[in-house]
Amino acid sequence: MFKRGDHAVVHRFATAFRAGSTGAIRSLLTHDVVAVSDSGGRVAAAIAPVRGADQVARCVTELLRPGTVLSVEAVNGQPGVVLRTPDGAAVAVLSLKVAGPKVSTVWIVLNPDKLRHWRPRE
């Protein structure tokens, strides 16, 4: 189902993300990467798309809270990253567009109304 290469990039991204390493995340982004966050105005998030590797890497690491649990899951038929609170509730779902060895777009869904279907995981 997944292209092997894409999957590897997503896993590398998740590993850097889990470590909270802005530098490692940045190295996996294309220079003109774009991050779009949908918060529906319900939680704090950038209201306009964020552009550029530095800004996107920072915007992604800002999603981490103490105890955030991060996993690679099937998001809309492709590997994506899901962030949960320590008690298992999904707080962010990230879908990534991969271009070659790097990530060129990050879509971040934060609107709690849109995450109700994400079951808690152990």
Q: Which residues bind other proteins (CB under 8 A)?
A: 1, 36-41, 45-49, 73-78, 80, 93, 95, 97, 99-100, 104-105, 107-109, 113-119
Q: What residues are paired with 78 via a beta bridge?
A: 75
C-beta of residue 16 within 8 angstroms of C-beta of residue 106? no
Query: Which DSSP state fits 24?
Result: H
- Least distance from other proteins to the Cβ atom of residue 32, Å: 8
Considering the complex, state which of residue 38 and residue 54 has its C-beta at the smaller distance from other proteins: 38
- Least distance from other proteins to the Cβ atom of residue 37, Å: 7
Considering the complex, state which of residue 66 and residue 122 has its C-beta at the smaller distance from other proteins: 122
- Least distance from other proteins to the Cβ atom of residue 115, Å: 8
Considering the complex, state which of residue 8 and residue 34 has its C-beta at the smaller distance from other proteins: 34
Residue in the block written with tokens 């940045």 = 26
Closest to 22 (Cα-Cα) out of 68, 59, 48, 50: 59
Residues in CB range of 61: below 8 A, 6 or more apart = 17, 20, 21, 22, 25
Considering the complex, state which of residue 68 and residue 112 has its C-beta at the smaller distance from other proteins: 112
